[in-house]
Structure 1
Amino acid sequence: MAQKPEPLQKVEGLLIDVGGVLYQGDEAIEGSAEALALLRERHIPFRLLTNTTRTARARLAEKLHRFGFDVAEEEIVTPASVAGAILARDGAKPHLLVHPDLLPDCPEEAARPDAVLMGDAGEHFTFEAMNRAFNVLIEGGRLYALGRNRFFRGDKGFELDAGPFVAALEYAAEVEAVLIGKPARDFFLTAAKELGLMPERIAMVGDDVEGDVEGAIAAGLPGVLVKTGKFREADEARAKKGGAHVAASLHSLVEEMT
């Protein structure tokens, strides 16, 4: 068996980003379904860790099934799936500024909110929606962000993610968002805990050098950048400088691990 690259020698499990690593637009990335099958065959545990805040876990699992991935809803960890516990911990009653498709995974909208829970609402980021959220915040409400990624690559090219809209409300209401999704440290550690391994034994695999790779490394996990999805050539040097491993794809990474 070939010697594993040094950053992978102690890795026994994976957290795997979804968009840009497993699929792109309306099709699976070549070799990605086979990569998950190899992980199962070789008893390497994993969780799918995604910042997507437009799609509920059940719908995401259905989409992955259509693309040929054998995954269960319980193997997917999203900011919305952990948001309820965080809001309950803080005693926060939320106004929801999220995409309607995400509502099944979200806590209930409060009649008298004292916080805003915000995700990628897409075309629902209207002036009226932003202004309603602003009014909760300007009255002293806290802002919770499911994610603050700047952009992602959709089937029609690059698209704005939640981050620019979170920044707009932070600026307008003079507040700082509490981040729930990547690159929040607790989000990586919550998912890592499900695998029953120490964080340093679990690598985070993603196409976003900032949100996936650098965020994971800051949380104590090894980071792996793949050259698919939103990857751009300048990202490779940045990732390596920060101590990350770089692989051509998820399939290539799994082959290197085994």
Structure 2
Amino acid sequence: MLQAVLLDISGVLYEDDQPLPGAVQAVRLLQDKGCPLRLITNTSRQGRAAIHRKLTGMGFAVAPEQIFTAPQAVLRHVRAHGLRPYCLIHPGLEEEFADLLDLPGPNAVVLGDAEMRFDYAHLDRAFQLLIEGAPLISMGDNRYFRGQGALHLDAGPFMRALEYAAGTTALVLGKPSAAFFASALDDLGVRADATLMIGDDVIADVQGALSAGLKACLVRTGKYRDGDEAQAPAAWVAADLAHAVERYC
């Protein structure tokens, strides 16, 4: 029996700043059932407060503490290990990372979806630190995301380029990392095998959840592409979040 549900955000709850049909009602149904819930995301162009404002503005009745992000996981790790990171991140995250920006003598590289900051100067600065032995800490290794009706490059391709150039391996603290799912489960206080992950990304959401011992449901919205379900035959499949909640929760 399910004890809790994890929901991806973009592509599951909304697309292009509009809630997907039935998504607001599906989240409300989970809340009414008293189902422990976390909205989890690798989104690294905005902090949790901005995500919460966006969701509540769309009509989703969620509390800030129900949102669990990859940037939060990275912040916890950096602070716990006393690191001084060079932050190659999006301007939208600067408020959340304010106390870690421009520290002298950086000894780590933190990577998010930096968008227009993925230029030669910024990437080369990160490379110089990595080649000297600094660890690479990434908010995710997603290849792309969906926005404004099209697919766009995410942080993953740039992470891979830095790994290749510096001969290093990134510590990924977003989906599909088992550590990220473990953190979300710990936050909820539930077991992996009694938790369902619902997402649109067959690799980051579904394969990641299954590998971490969770149940998983792939929805045919967001970045879903025809045939994705063949990559995760153990996953449940639903047309959208509303159908997933009605059928499996």
2:217 paired residue number: 224
1:108 paired residue number: 100
Given candidates 63, 71, 93, the residue that maps to 1:72 is 63
Cα offset for 1:74?
1.2
2:197 paired residue number: 204
CA distance in 1, matches of 2:221, 2:95: 30
2:40 paired residue number: 49
Cα offset for 1:233?
1.5
Cα offset for 1:156?
4.2
2:186 equivalent to 1:187 = no
- Alpha-carbon deviations, 1:128-148, whole Å to 9, x = none? 111111111122111001111
Counterparts of residues 53-202 of structure 1 (less than 5 Å): 53-106=44-97, 108-109=100-101, 110-202=103-195
CA distance in 2, matches of 1:12, 1:99: 35
TM-score in terms of structure 2 length: 0.95
CA distance in 2, matches of 1:257, 1:140: 46
Counterparts of residues 28-47 of structure 1 (less than 5 Å): 28-47=19-38
CA distance in 2, matches of 1:138, 1:131: 10
Q: Return the letter of the residue paired with 2:160.
A: A
Does the 8 Å CA contact 2:89/2:113 hold for their aligned counterparts?
yes
2:237 equivalent to 1:249 = no
Does the 8 Å CA contact 2:74/2:138 hold for their aligned counterparts?
no
CA distance in 2, matches of 1:55, 1:91: 24
Give secondary structure in 2 for the equivalent of 1:233: coil
Does the 8 Å CA contact 2:229/2:235 hold for their aligned counterparts?
no
Q: Which moved more, 1:127-136 or 1:102-111?
A: 102-111
CA distance in 2, matches of 1:85, 1:45: 22
CA distance in 2, matches of 1:220, 1:105: 31
Structure 2, gaps ≥5 residues long = none
Q: Which moved more, 1:140-149 or 1:64-73?
A: 64-73
CA distance in 1, matches of 2:104, 2:227: 47
Does the 8 Å CA contact 2:44/2:93 hold for their aligned counterparts?
yes
Q: Return the letter of the residue paired with 1:200.
A: D
Q: Which moved more, 1:88-97 or 1:109-118?
A: 88-97
Cα offset for 1:84?
2.2
Q: Return the letter of the residue paired with 2:218.
A: L
Could you tell me the percent identity over the aligned residues?
43
- Structure 1 stretches of 4+ with a deviation exceeding 4 A read none
RMSD: 1.3
2:8 paired residue number: 17
Cα offset for 1:29?
0.6
Cα offset for 1:22?
0.3
CA distance in 2, matches of 1:86, 1:42: 33
TM-score in terms of structure 1 length: 0.92
CA distance in 2, matches of 1:105, 1:188: 21
Cα offset for 1:55?
0.8
- Alpha-carbon deviations, 1:101-121, whole Å to 9, x = none? 112333613211011000001
